[in-house]
């Protein structure tokens, strides 16, 4: 038996097992040490190989794709710092619960920590930020080694797909020569699997009947309640939560990432403007809840967080099928580790029909008033960030995906994107909320989620310019809206702005670059639209185009703060009048 035979059998078994467990997309970055795995993957008829040179972008690309297809995506790179470039995406995957199978090629043991080229300590490279780490054996033809490779693959994929979903890391030491034997027709035959292979069945967390009953009783007895949904993307949850809310007659405060602000339901109980009206003290006092039922990640809105802190005496139930601890303000009175869909169904069945509630109509009334005021933003003549976000629900077609950048865009989406029936899926990287990797994440998602629109700020766009290569190399269609306020817009809302001395140096950080050059380099279509007529006309124009389409909206950081504050003040006045009229 020779090395090449072992290398071939081992990598073929592993790659075949990946495909059998449902991992059919791999993002490969070129390198030498990863050659056996890369060549084997390219050889498998059911494995799709996406090649990207920059591993940081590749990591986020895989993350976005996994987010879109709700299945794990594999990553493969060579030895050395290549794998370290995945770190931001791995961490994001860990906190946003996205399954990734990270495969790093490594030097064999005799070339580690002896000054060999491109050799670094890759064991536990991602520390606690992966759900599992496996140091794989050197390829051998030995049946037990091949079987171990297959089993570890199955196990790694299963671990990645068990709640809370997340990344796993496998490190493969390979000795030279690195070329497998690919001219065998039976390369991916699967005797092992047919004979005595283990299939892994993973379940979900659930509660017993009396636990559900106790929770249902609490929700029924405290009639002044609200439901809060943060980032959530579980099959069947939408129907479940809407039924439960209807039975309880509780409003649903729906974060833009809850997937509840756009859908086929009637939206009657959806409160989507709370980020604006909860800034007002009268509204907060008027709407105090006795009980809070919360799902998903913590919502984006700081106004909502502050409102919850003020109501720290309320019963606060957090439901998490991933059994995390999503309670940044330490307000939870009950942590419920149960699949969210199962929770909604089970509790719904225990709630009597026709419950009355004193508060739901108050919430929806205030929500309507606030929304009407906020939508006045559409009358602005200037290129305004709020207006842009308020237009999204109008200009983006049904059944499309909207990927949103961090920092200001996700907050503006929260403030200005309201319920509609277009079934627009909203995505963002809200695990660690970084401005890194957004372009790549969106492009990864865009491979299977079509059409896809990305809206982000200029610093975020800059941070992942390398990501744009994917649209060119892999022929991906994407429409990108850059809100270019030439720097870090969010800081103008923070206390730092009151300290002008080094503000522009440390926080404003204007880049003063013209992105049209780089878009051109990657073969994209580009326009900077200086007014709304230009914007709309270019928007219609690019509908017919393919590939990378970029539309830049220049705005002004100072004016943006003023417009936002004007709107919030106007909402406040209106709400105060309304509440005064009710009393």
Contacts to its own copies from residues 107-136, by CB under 8 A = 110-111, 113-121, 124-125, 127-129
- Closest to its own copies by CB, 28 vs 149, is 28
Residue 517 touches its own copies, criterion: CB under 8 A: yes
Task: Report residue 302 CA to chain centroid gap.
Answer: 19
Q: What is the DSSP string of 496-508?
A: GGG-GGGHIIIII
Taking CB under 8 A as the criterion, the residue among 17, 384, 436, 552 binding its own copies is 436
Asked if 185 touches its own copies (CB under 8 A), the answer is no
Q: Residue 197 or 462: which CB sits closer to its own copies? A: 462
**Taking the complex as a whole, how short is the minimal distance between the CB of residue 507 and its own copies, in angstroms?**
6
Count Cβ neighbours within 10 Å for each residue of 484-521 and write b for 16 or more, e otherwise. bbbbbbbbbbeebeeeeeeeeeebbeeeeeebeebbee
Dump strand ranges (E) for 14-165. Answer: 25-28, 48-51, 73-77, 100-106, 132-135
Residue of 330, 356, 500, 544 that binds its own copies (CB under 8 A)? 330
CA proximity to 528, closest of 482, 485, 469, 465: 482
Under rule CB under 8 A, which residues in 288-327 are in contact with its own copies? Answer: 297-298, 324-327
| Dist. CA 405–CA 484, nearest whole Å | 13
Q: Does the protein bind its own copies through residue 138 (CB under 8 A)? A: no
* Among 162, 357, 433, 525, contact with its own copies (rule: CB under 8 A): 433
Site for its own copies in 450-479 (CB under 8 A): 459, 462-463, 465-466, 469, 472-473
Token readout for 383 is 């290129």
Please state whether 433 falls in left (phi above 0), alpha (psi between -120 and 50) or beta.
left
Tally of CB atoms within 10 A around 343:
27
Nearest to 97 by CA among 257, 252, 213: 257
Helix, strand, coil shares of the chain, percent, nearest 5, are 45, 15, 40
> Shortest Cβ distance from residue 147 to its own copies (Å)?
27
| Residues between 236 and 295 with contacts to its own copies, criterion CB under 8 A | none
Using rule CB under 8 A, residue 491 touches its own copies: yes
Spatial distance between the Cα atoms of 40 and 232, rounded to a whole number of angstroms: 36
Best CA proximity match to 353, nearest among 250, 239, 216, 246? 246
Give least dist CB 81 to its own copies, A: 4
Q: Is 544 helix (H, G, I), strand (E, B) or coil?
A: coil
Number of residues engaging its own copies in binding (CB under 8 A)? 92
Cβ proximity to its own copies, 451 vs 547, nearer residue: 547
Give the one residue of 432, 474, 542, 561 binding its own copies; rule: CB under 8 A: 432
| 62 part of the interface to its own copies, by CB under 8 A | no
Stretch that binds its own copies, among 161-169, 439-447, 449-457, 486-494 (CB under 8 A): 486-494
Pairing of β 48-51 and β 73-77: unpaired
Contact 50, 43 (CB under 8 A): no
Minimum Å gap between C-beta 578 and its own copies is: 32
Q: What is d(CA 431, CA 95) in angstroms, rounded to the nearest whole number?
A: 4
Nearer to its own copies, 125 or 216 (CB): 125
CB–CB of 323/212 below 8 Å? no
Closer residue to its own copies in complex, CB, 169/247: 169
Does 502 participate in binding its own copies (rule CB under 8 A)? yes
> Are the CB atoms for 189 and 124 separated by under 8 Å?
no
- 55 lies in the binding site for its own copies (CB under 8 A): yes
Q: Does 151 bind its own copies (CB under 8 A)?
A: no
Binding its own copies by CB under 8 A: which of 177, 198, 334, 399?
177
Give me the count of residues in the chain: 583
Answer for which of 19, 20, 27, 28 binds its own copies (CB under 8 A) is: 28
CA–CA distance, 347 with 241 (Å, rounded to integer): 10
Decide if residue 42 touches its own copies (CB under 8 A).
yes
Binding mask 521-560 for its own copies (x = CB under 8 A): xx--------------------------------------
Task: Confirm or reject binding of residue 48 to its own copies (CB under 8 A).
Answer: no
Region of 88-96, 206-214, 333-341, 528-536 interacting with its own copies (CB under 8 A): 88-96
Closest CB to its own copies among residues 179, 562: 179
Stretch that binds its own copies, among 142-150, 194-202, 418-426, 519-527 (CB under 8 A): 519-527
184: left (phi over 0), alpha (psi -120 to 50) or beta: beta
Residues 66-85, mask of contacts with its own copies (x by CB under 8 A): --------------xxx-xx
Q: Give me the residue label for tokens 């960030």.
A: 385
Q: How far apart are CA 66 and CA 14, in angstroms?
A: 20
Decide if residue 18 touches its own copies (CB under 8 A). no
- 520 binds its own copies per the rule CB under 8 A: yes
Looking at 72, 88, 256, 409, which residue binds its own copies (CB under 8 A)? 88
């Amino acid at each position: 038996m020779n090395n090449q035979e072992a290398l071939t059998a081992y990598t073929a078994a592993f790659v075949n097992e990946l495909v059998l467990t449902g991992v059919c997309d791999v993002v490969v970055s070129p390198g030498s040490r990863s050659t056996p795995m890369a060549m084997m993957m390219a050889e498998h008829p059911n494995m799709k190989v996406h090649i990207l040179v920059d591993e940081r972008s590749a990591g986020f690309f895989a993350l976005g794709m996994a987010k879109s297809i709700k299945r794990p995506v594999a990553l493969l790179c060579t030895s050395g710092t290549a794998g370290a470039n995945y770190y931001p995406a791995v961490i994001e995957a860990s906190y946003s619960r996205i399954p990734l199978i990270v495969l790093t090629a490594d030097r064999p043991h005799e070339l580690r920590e002896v000054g060999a080229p491109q050799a670094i300590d890759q064991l536990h490279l991602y520390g606690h930020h992966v759900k599992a780490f496996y140091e794989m054996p050197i390829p051998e033809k030995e049946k037990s080694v091949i079987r171990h490779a297959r089993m570890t693959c199955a196990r790694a994929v299963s671990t990645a797909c068990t709640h809370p979903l997340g990344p796993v890391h496998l490190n493969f030491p390979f000795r030279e020569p690195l070329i497998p034997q690919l001219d065998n027709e039976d390369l991916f035959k699967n005797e092992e699997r047919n004979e005595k292979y283990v299939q892994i069945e993973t379940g979900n967390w659930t509660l017993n009947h009396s636990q559900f009953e106790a929770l249902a009783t609490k929700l029924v007895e405290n009639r002044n309640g609200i439901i809060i949904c943060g980032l959530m993307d579980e099959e069947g949850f939408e129907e479940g939560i809407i039924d439960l809310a209807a039975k309880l007659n509780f409003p649903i405060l729906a974060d833009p990432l809850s997937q509840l602000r756009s859908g086929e339901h009637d939206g009657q109980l959806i409160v989507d403007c709370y980020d604006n009206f909860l800034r007002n003290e009268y509204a907060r006092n008027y709407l105090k809840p006795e009980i809070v039922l919360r799902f998903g990640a913590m919502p984006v809105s700081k106004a909502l967080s502050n409102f919850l802190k003020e109501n720290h005496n309320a019963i606060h139930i957090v439901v998490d099928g991933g059994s995390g601890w999503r309670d940044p303000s330490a307000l939870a009175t009950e942590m419920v580790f149960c699949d969210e869909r199962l929770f909604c169904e089970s509790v719904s069945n225990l709630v009597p029909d026709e419950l009355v509630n004193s508060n739901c109509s108050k919430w929806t009334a205030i929500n309507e008033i606030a929304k009407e005021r906020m939508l006045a933003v559409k009358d602005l003549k200037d290129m305004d960030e709020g207006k842009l976000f308020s237009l999204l629900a109008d200009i983006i077609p049904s059944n499309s995906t909207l990927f949103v950048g961090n920092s200001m865009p996700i907050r503006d989406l929260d403030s200005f994107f309201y319920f509609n029936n277009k079934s627009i899926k909203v995505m963002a990287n809200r695990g660690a909320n970084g401005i890194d990797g957004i372009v790549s994440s969106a492009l990864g998602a865009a491979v299977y989620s079509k059409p896809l629109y990305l809206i982000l700020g200029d610093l975020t766009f800059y941070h992942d310019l390398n990501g744009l290569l994917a649209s060119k190399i892999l022929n991906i269609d994407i429409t990108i809206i850059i809100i270019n306020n030439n720097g870090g817009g969010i800081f103008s809302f923070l206390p730092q702005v009151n300290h002008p001395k080094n503000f522009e140096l440390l926080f404003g950080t204007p880049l003063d670059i013209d992105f049209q050059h780089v878009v051109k380099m990657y073969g994209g279509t580009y326009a900077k639209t200086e007014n709304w007529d230009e914007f709309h006309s270019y928007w219609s124009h690019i509908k017919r185009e393919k590939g990378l389409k970029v539309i830049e909206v220049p705005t002004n950081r100072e004016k943006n703060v003023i417009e936002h504050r004007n709107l919030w003040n106007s909402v406040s006045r209106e709400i105060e009048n309304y509440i005064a009229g009710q009393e």
